[in-house]
Amino acid sequence: MNIQGRPYRTIWLNQDGRSVDIIDQRWLPHAFRVVTLGSVEDAAVAIRDMWVRGAPLIGVTAAYGVAMAMREDAGDAALDAAWEKLHETRPTAINLRWALDDMRKLLRPLSPAARAAAAYARAAEIADEDVALNRAIGAEGLAIIRRIAAGKKPGERVNILTHCNAGWLATVDWGTATAPIYLAMEEGLPVHVFVDETRPRNQGAHLTAWEMSNHGVPHTLIVDNAGGHMMQHGLVDMVIVGTDRTTARGDVCNKIGTYLKALAARDNGVPFYVALPSPTIDWTVDDGVKEIPIEERGGDEVSFVQGRDADGAIVRVRISPDASPVANPAFDVTPARLVTGLITERGVAEASREGLKALFPERG
Protein backbone atom coordinates (compact mmCIF):
# COMPACT_ATOMS: atom_id res chain seq x y z
CA MET A 1 0.00 0.00 0.00
CA ASN A 2 1.04 3.62 -0.32
CA ILE A 3 3.09 5.76 2.01
CA GLN A 4 3.03 9.35 0.79
CA GLY A 5 2.13 8.10 -2.65
CA ARG A 6 4.90 5.48 -2.83
CA PRO A 7 3.88 1.79 -2.84
CA TYR A 8 5.41 -0.40 -0.15
CA ARG A 9 5.16 -3.92 1.12
CA THR A 10 6.00 -4.59 4.77
CA ILE A 11 8.95 -6.88 3.95
CA TRP A 12 11.11 -7.26 0.87
CA LEU A 13 14.27 -9.01 -0.24
CA ASN A 14 17.25 -6.72 -0.75
CA GLN A 15 19.33 -6.50 -3.91
CA ASP A 16 22.02 -8.64 -2.25
CA GLY A 17 19.52 -11.51 -2.52
CA ARG A 18 20.21 -12.40 1.13
CA SER A 19 18.94 -9.86 3.66
CA VAL A 20 15.42 -8.49 3.95
CA ASP A 21 14.20 -5.03 4.82
CA ILE A 22 11.20 -4.47 7.04
CA ILE A 23 9.22 -1.48 8.21
CA ASP A 24 10.09 -1.22 11.91
CA GLN A 25 6.60 -0.83 13.33
CA ARG A 26 7.69 0.13 16.84
CA TRP A 27 8.02 3.78 15.90
CA LEU A 28 4.90 4.36 13.86
CA PRO A 29 3.07 6.67 13.46
CA HIS A 30 5.75 9.08 14.67
CA ALA A 31 8.71 7.85 12.63
CA PHE A 32 8.95 5.72 9.49
CA ARG A 33 12.05 3.54 9.80
CA VAL A 34 13.19 0.69 7.59
CA VAL A 35 15.66 -1.79 9.07
CA THR A 36 17.61 -4.66 7.57
CA LEU A 37 17.44 -8.21 8.92
CA GLY A 38 20.53 -10.19 7.96
CA SER A 39 20.32 -13.39 9.97
CA VAL A 40 17.93 -15.83 11.59
CA GLU A 41 18.76 -14.16 14.93
CA ASP A 42 17.69 -10.78 13.52
CA ALA A 43 14.42 -12.29 12.28
CA ALA A 44 13.73 -13.87 15.69
CA VAL A 45 14.34 -10.58 17.52
CA ALA A 46 12.18 -8.64 15.04
CA ILE A 47 9.26 -11.03 15.62
CA ARG A 48 9.67 -11.38 19.40
CA ASP A 49 10.09 -7.66 20.06
CA MET A 50 7.35 -6.77 17.58
CA TRP A 51 9.34 -4.77 15.03
CA VAL A 52 7.04 -6.77 12.78
CA ARG A 53 3.76 -8.14 14.05
CA GLY A 54 0.43 -9.45 12.82
CA ALA A 55 -0.03 -13.16 12.18
CA PRO A 56 0.62 -13.28 8.39
CA LEU A 57 3.66 -10.97 8.52
CA ILE A 58 5.14 -12.96 11.41
CA GLY A 59 4.87 -16.07 9.20
CA VAL A 60 6.58 -14.46 6.21
CA THR A 61 9.37 -13.00 8.38
CA ALA A 62 9.95 -16.46 9.86
CA ALA A 63 10.13 -17.98 6.36
CA TYR A 64 12.87 -15.51 5.42
CA GLY A 65 14.52 -16.25 8.78
CA VAL A 66 14.79 -19.92 7.79
CA ALA A 67 16.23 -18.89 4.41
CA MET A 68 18.87 -16.73 6.11
CA ALA A 69 19.74 -19.62 8.43
CA MET A 70 20.19 -21.94 5.43
CA ARG A 71 22.67 -19.52 3.91
CA GLU A 72 24.86 -19.86 7.03
CA ASP A 73 24.49 -23.60 7.51
CA ALA A 74 22.13 -25.78 5.50
CA GLY A 75 22.49 -28.96 7.56
CA ASP A 76 19.58 -30.80 9.21
CA ALA A 77 20.55 -29.64 12.71
CA ALA A 78 20.66 -26.00 11.59
CA LEU A 79 17.26 -26.36 9.95
CA ASP A 80 15.75 -27.73 13.16
CA ALA A 81 17.50 -25.08 15.25
CA ALA A 82 16.12 -22.30 13.03
CA TRP A 83 12.62 -23.80 13.33
CA GLU A 84 12.94 -23.83 17.15
CA LYS A 85 14.47 -20.39 17.46
CA LEU A 86 11.76 -18.78 15.36
CA HIS A 87 8.90 -20.84 16.76
CA GLU A 88 9.55 -19.79 20.35
CA THR A 89 9.31 -16.08 19.53
CA ARG A 90 5.52 -15.73 19.76
CA PRO A 91 3.18 -18.55 20.77
CA THR A 92 -0.30 -17.57 19.62
CA ALA A 93 -0.27 -16.72 15.90
CA ILE A 94 -0.52 -20.04 14.07
CA ASN A 95 0.81 -18.57 10.80
CA LEU A 96 4.26 -18.74 12.40
CA ARG A 97 4.14 -22.50 12.82
CA TRP A 98 2.39 -22.90 9.46
CA ALA A 99 5.22 -21.08 7.65
CA LEU A 100 7.95 -22.89 9.58
CA ASP A 101 6.41 -26.30 8.92
CA ASP A 102 5.94 -25.44 5.26
CA MET A 103 9.60 -24.44 4.93
CA ARG A 104 10.95 -27.48 6.77
CA LYS A 105 8.76 -29.87 4.77
CA LEU A 106 10.09 -28.40 1.54
CA LEU A 107 13.74 -28.25 2.60
CA ARG A 108 14.20 -31.52 4.49
CA PRO A 109 14.24 -33.81 1.40
CA LEU A 110 16.64 -31.51 -0.51
CA SER A 111 20.41 -31.79 -0.42
CA PRO A 112 21.98 -29.13 1.83
CA ALA A 113 23.55 -27.51 -1.25
CA ALA A 114 20.10 -26.87 -2.72
CA ARG A 115 18.40 -25.64 0.44
CA ALA A 116 19.27 -21.94 0.63
CA ALA A 117 18.10 -21.14 -2.92
CA ALA A 118 14.92 -23.18 -2.44
CA ALA A 119 14.24 -21.48 0.89
CA TYR A 120 14.52 -17.95 -0.52
CA ALA A 121 12.28 -18.91 -3.44
CA ARG A 122 9.62 -20.39 -1.15
CA ALA A 123 9.75 -17.44 1.27
CA ALA A 124 9.13 -15.09 -1.67
CA GLU A 125 6.26 -17.30 -2.79
CA ILE A 126 4.67 -17.27 0.68
CA ALA A 127 4.90 -13.47 0.65
CA ASP A 128 3.24 -13.26 -2.78
CA GLU A 129 0.60 -15.78 -1.75
CA ASP A 130 -0.24 -13.64 1.28
CA VAL A 131 -0.86 -10.65 -0.96
CA ALA A 132 -3.14 -12.71 -3.24
CA LEU A 133 -5.04 -14.23 -0.30
CA ASN A 134 -5.70 -10.83 1.21
CA ARG A 135 -6.85 -9.41 -2.12
CA ALA A 136 -9.31 -12.31 -2.41
CA ILE A 137 -10.52 -11.75 1.17
CA GLY A 138 -11.02 -8.12 0.19
CA ALA A 139 -13.32 -9.06 -2.69
CA GLU A 140 -15.41 -11.32 -0.43
CA GLY A 141 -15.68 -8.66 2.27
CA LEU A 142 -16.47 -5.97 -0.29
CA ALA A 143 -19.63 -7.87 -1.25
CA ILE A 144 -20.81 -7.57 2.38
CA ILE A 145 -20.05 -3.85 2.51
CA ARG A 146 -21.88 -3.35 -0.79
CA ARG A 147 -24.99 -5.06 0.64
CA ILE A 148 -24.94 -2.83 3.72
CA ALA A 149 -24.39 0.26 1.56
CA ALA A 150 -27.35 -0.72 -0.63
CA GLY A 151 -29.65 -0.53 2.42
CA LYS A 152 -28.53 2.99 3.31
CA LYS A 153 -30.06 6.32 2.32
CA PRO A 154 -28.08 8.35 -0.24
CA GLY A 155 -25.04 9.96 1.41
CA GLU A 156 -25.15 7.74 4.51
CA ARG A 157 -21.89 6.09 5.50
CA VAL A 158 -21.20 2.43 6.18
CA ASN A 159 -19.65 2.46 9.66
CA ILE A 160 -17.16 -0.32 10.33
CA LEU A 161 -15.51 -0.94 13.68
CA THR A 162 -12.14 -2.68 13.84
CA HIS A 163 -9.84 -3.73 16.66
CA CYS A 164 -6.03 -3.86 16.75
CA ASN A 165 -4.27 -3.72 13.39
CA ALA A 166 -5.27 -6.36 10.87
CA GLY A 167 -4.23 -3.94 8.17
CA TRP A 168 -1.53 -4.11 5.52
CA LEU A 169 1.10 -3.60 8.22
CA ALA A 170 0.04 -6.93 9.76
CA THR A 171 0.42 -8.75 6.44
CA VAL A 172 2.63 -8.31 3.37
CA ASP A 173 0.05 -6.07 1.70
CA TRP A 174 -3.67 -5.16 1.77
CA GLY A 175 -4.33 -6.53 5.27
CA THR A 176 -7.14 -8.93 6.09
CA ALA A 177 -9.77 -6.84 7.91
CA THR A 178 -8.76 -3.76 5.93
CA ALA A 179 -8.70 -5.30 2.43
CA PRO A 180 -12.52 -4.99 2.02
CA ILE A 181 -12.32 -1.41 3.29
CA TYR A 182 -9.59 -0.42 0.81
CA LEU A 183 -11.54 -2.02 -2.05
CA ALA A 184 -14.73 -0.26 -0.93
CA MET A 185 -12.81 3.03 -1.02
CA GLU A 186 -11.58 2.25 -4.55
CA GLU A 187 -15.17 1.64 -5.57
CA GLY A 188 -16.30 4.94 -4.10
CA LEU A 189 -18.48 3.46 -1.35
CA PRO A 190 -18.94 5.83 1.60
CA VAL A 191 -17.10 3.87 4.31
CA HIS A 192 -16.07 5.18 7.70
CA VAL A 193 -13.98 3.23 10.21
CA PHE A 194 -14.09 3.37 14.00
CA VAL A 195 -10.56 2.46 15.06
CA ASP A 196 -10.21 0.97 18.57
CA GLU A 197 -6.99 2.30 20.12
CA THR A 198 -6.17 -1.25 21.34
CA ARG A 199 -4.37 -1.03 24.65
CA PRO A 200 -1.84 -1.94 25.77
CA ARG A 201 0.34 -1.49 22.67
CA ASN A 202 -2.12 0.73 20.84
CA GLN A 203 -1.89 -0.97 17.46
CA GLY A 204 -5.15 0.75 16.52
CA ALA A 205 -4.01 4.26 17.46
CA HIS A 206 -0.47 3.80 16.15
CA LEU A 207 -0.91 1.60 13.09
CA THR A 208 -4.50 1.32 11.86
CA ALA A 209 -5.12 5.06 12.22
CA TRP A 210 -1.84 5.70 10.35
CA GLU A 211 -2.87 3.35 7.55
CA MET A 212 -6.29 4.96 7.27
CA SER A 213 -4.73 8.43 7.18
CA ASN A 214 -2.25 7.42 4.48
CA HIS A 215 -5.04 6.07 2.30
CA GLY A 216 -7.55 8.81 2.92
CA VAL A 217 -10.04 6.45 4.57
CA PRO A 218 -12.47 8.44 6.75
CA HIS A 219 -11.95 7.17 10.28
CA THR A 220 -12.38 8.06 13.94
CA LEU A 221 -10.11 6.82 16.70
CA ILE A 222 -12.00 5.67 19.80
CA VAL A 223 -10.94 4.28 23.15
CA ASP A 224 -11.38 0.55 23.55
CA ASN A 225 -14.29 0.96 25.91
CA ALA A 226 -16.35 3.10 23.52
CA GLY A 227 -17.37 0.34 21.08
CA GLY A 228 -20.37 -0.92 23.06
CA HIS A 229 -21.74 2.59 23.44
CA MET A 230 -21.32 3.26 19.70
CA MET A 231 -23.20 0.06 18.91
CA GLN A 232 -26.05 0.86 21.32
CA HIS A 233 -26.55 4.14 19.48
CA GLY A 234 -26.72 2.57 16.04
CA LEU A 235 -23.38 4.03 14.98
CA VAL A 236 -21.77 0.75 13.88
CA ASP A 237 -23.03 -1.26 10.88
CA MET A 238 -20.51 -4.05 11.11
CA VAL A 239 -17.38 -5.15 12.93
CA ILE A 240 -14.43 -6.65 11.01
CA VAL A 241 -11.42 -7.94 12.89
CA GLY A 242 -8.47 -10.18 12.07
CA THR A 243 -7.34 -13.31 13.88
CA ASP A 244 -4.14 -14.96 15.03
CA ARG A 245 -5.61 -18.43 15.10
CA THR A 246 -9.06 -19.75 14.29
CA THR A 247 -9.93 -23.28 15.33
CA ALA A 248 -11.46 -26.04 13.20
CA ARG A 249 -14.86 -25.28 14.75
CA GLY A 250 -14.58 -21.52 14.22
CA ASP A 251 -13.46 -20.14 17.59
CA VAL A 252 -11.48 -16.97 16.93
CA CYS A 253 -8.37 -15.95 18.82
CA ASN A 254 -7.41 -12.31 18.30
CA LYS A 255 -6.01 -9.31 20.12
CA ILE A 256 -7.15 -8.89 23.71
CA GLY A 257 -10.49 -7.09 23.82
CA THR A 258 -11.91 -8.68 20.67
CA TYR A 259 -14.20 -10.91 22.75
CA LEU A 260 -15.79 -7.89 24.46
CA LYS A 261 -16.49 -6.34 21.05
CA ALA A 262 -18.14 -9.55 19.91
CA LEU A 263 -20.34 -9.61 23.03
CA ALA A 264 -21.39 -6.00 22.50
CA ALA A 265 -22.04 -6.71 18.81
CA ARG A 266 -24.28 -9.69 19.65
CA ASP A 267 -26.22 -7.69 22.23
CA ASN A 268 -26.87 -4.97 19.70
CA GLY A 269 -27.54 -7.05 16.59
CA VAL A 270 -24.38 -5.79 14.85
CA PRO A 271 -22.78 -8.32 12.46
CA PHE A 272 -19.36 -9.43 13.69
CA TYR A 273 -17.05 -10.64 10.89
CA VAL A 274 -13.55 -12.08 11.08
CA ALA A 275 -11.26 -11.82 8.04
CA LEU A 276 -8.66 -14.56 7.69
CA PRO A 277 -6.45 -16.30 5.18
CA SER A 278 -6.54 -20.10 5.39
CA PRO A 279 -3.03 -20.40 6.95
CA THR A 280 -4.60 -18.82 10.06
CA ILE A 281 -6.89 -21.82 10.57
CA ASP A 282 -5.49 -24.35 13.05
CA TRP A 283 -7.16 -27.57 11.96
CA THR A 284 -5.64 -29.41 14.94
CA VAL A 285 -7.58 -27.59 17.67
CA ASP A 286 -11.30 -27.21 18.39
CA ASP A 287 -11.89 -25.44 21.67
CA GLY A 288 -10.12 -22.12 21.37
CA VAL A 289 -10.49 -21.14 25.03
CA LYS A 290 -9.02 -24.38 26.31
CA GLU A 291 -6.49 -25.17 23.59
CA ILE A 292 -4.93 -21.99 22.21
CA PRO A 293 -1.83 -20.77 24.09
CA ILE A 294 -2.28 -17.11 25.00
CA GLU A 295 0.87 -15.03 24.92
CA GLU A 296 1.55 -13.26 28.21
CA ARG A 297 3.66 -10.21 27.46
CA GLY A 298 5.74 -8.00 29.71
CA GLY A 299 4.04 -5.75 32.25
CA ASP A 300 5.82 -2.67 30.93
CA GLU A 301 3.43 -2.65 27.98
CA VAL A 302 0.62 -1.92 30.46
CA SER A 303 2.50 0.35 32.88
CA PHE A 304 3.96 2.57 30.17
CA VAL A 305 2.64 4.23 27.04
CA GLN A 306 4.69 5.49 24.13
CA GLY A 307 4.02 8.70 22.29
CA ARG A 308 5.52 11.94 21.02
CA ASP A 309 6.23 14.83 23.37
CA ALA A 310 5.82 18.52 22.66
CA ASP A 311 9.38 18.65 21.23
CA GLY A 312 8.65 15.84 18.79
CA ALA A 313 10.73 13.22 20.63
CA ILE A 314 9.32 9.70 20.94
CA VAL A 315 9.07 8.99 24.67
CA ARG A 316 7.68 6.37 27.02
CA VAL A 317 5.88 7.48 30.16
CA ARG A 318 4.78 5.47 33.17
CA ILE A 319 1.04 5.65 33.85
CA SER A 320 0.65 3.40 36.92
CA PRO A 321 2.19 3.29 40.39
CA ASP A 322 5.65 1.67 40.46
CA ALA A 323 4.45 -0.97 42.93
CA SER A 324 1.25 -2.11 41.17
CA PRO A 325 1.49 -5.62 39.79
CA VAL A 326 0.46 -6.00 36.14
CA ALA A 327 -0.99 -8.80 33.99
CA ASN A 328 -0.80 -8.60 30.22
CA PRO A 329 -2.57 -11.39 28.30
CA ALA A 330 -2.12 -10.38 24.66
CA PHE A 331 -5.03 -12.27 23.06
CA ASP A 332 -8.48 -13.61 23.85
CA VAL A 333 -10.85 -16.08 22.25
CA THR A 334 -14.25 -15.25 20.79
CA PRO A 335 -16.42 -18.38 20.66
CA ALA A 336 -17.75 -19.30 17.22
CA ARG A 337 -21.36 -18.65 18.35
CA LEU A 338 -20.62 -14.89 18.47
CA VAL A 339 -19.14 -14.75 14.96
CA THR A 340 -21.44 -13.83 12.06
CA GLY A 341 -19.05 -15.08 9.39
CA LEU A 342 -15.44 -15.93 8.58
CA ILE A 343 -14.32 -14.00 5.51
CA THR A 344 -11.78 -16.23 3.79
CA GLU A 345 -10.13 -16.21 0.37
CA ARG A 346 -12.65 -18.83 -0.77
CA GLY A 347 -15.78 -17.12 0.47
CA VAL A 348 -17.60 -16.31 3.70
CA ALA A 349 -17.88 -19.36 5.94
CA GLU A 350 -20.25 -19.92 8.81
CA ALA A 351 -18.11 -20.09 11.97
CA SER A 352 -18.54 -23.81 12.50
CA ARG A 353 -16.80 -27.05 11.61
CA GLU A 354 -19.33 -27.60 8.81
CA GLY A 355 -18.93 -24.06 7.51
CA LEU A 356 -15.15 -24.31 7.29
CA LYS A 357 -15.28 -27.84 5.88
CA ALA A 358 -17.60 -26.69 3.09
CA LEU A 359 -15.01 -24.15 1.92
CA PHE A 360 -11.92 -26.27 2.62
CA PRO A 361 -13.05 -29.86 2.00
CA GLU A 362 -9.45 -31.02 1.56
CA ARG A 363 -8.59 -29.89 5.13
CA GLY A 364 -11.67 -30.45 7.23
Ligand X SMILES: CSC[C@@H](O)[C@@H](O)C(=O)COP(=O)(O)O
Does residue 192 bind ligand X (CB under 6 A)?
Answer: no
How far is residue 228's CA from residue 26's CA, in Å, rounded to a whole number? 29
Q: Is 48 annotated as a binding residue?
A: no
Applying CB under 6 A, the span of 32-40, 53-61, 99-107, 149-157 interacting with ligand X comes to 53-61
Cα angle value 41/104/177 (rounded, 5°):
75
Q: Is position 347 annotated in a ligand binding site?
A: no
d(CA 116, CA 70): 5
Per-residue contact track with ligand X, 259 to 298, x per CB under 6 A? ----------------------------------------
The helix/strand/coil state of 267 is helix
Interface stretch with ligand X, choices 116-124, 135-143, 162-170, 348-356 (CB under 6 A): 162-170
Residues 91-130 that bind ligand X (CB under 6 A): 93
Identify any residues that bridge with 12 across adjacent strands, giving them in sequence order.
Answer: 21
Q: Which residues contact 67 (CB under 8 A, 6 or more apart)?
A: 103, 116, 119, 120, 122, 123
Which one among 170, 209, 252, 359 touches ligand X, defined by CB under 6 A? 170
Number of residues that bind ligand X (CB under 6 A): 17
Q: Is 17 annotated as a binding residue?
A: no
The response to whether 15 counts as a known ligand-binding position is: no
Closest CA to 56 of 128, 144, 159: 128
Give yes or no for residue 55 binding ligand X (CB under 6 A): yes
In our burial notation (b when 16+ CB lie closer than 10 A, e otherwise), range 329-359 reads ebbbbbbbebbbbbbbbebbbbbbeebbeeb
Q: Which of 10, 159, 202, 243 binds ligand X (CB under 6 A)?
A: 243
Q: Does the footprint of ligand X cover residue 56 (CB under 6 A)?
A: yes
- If you count them, how many residues does the chain have? 364
Is 55 within any annotated ligand binding site?
A: yes
**Amino acid of residue 5:** G
Describe the crossing of helices 94-107 and 55-72 by its angle, rounded to 10 degrees. Answer: 30
282 a catalytic residue: no
Q: Closest distance between ligand X and the C-beta of residue 280, in Å?
A: 7
Binding-site positions for substrate read 53-55, 90, 203, 254-255
Q: Which residues bind ligand X (CB under 6 A)?
A: 53-56, 93, 164, 166, 170-171, 176, 203, 242-244, 254-255, 330
Q: Cite the active site residues.
A: 244
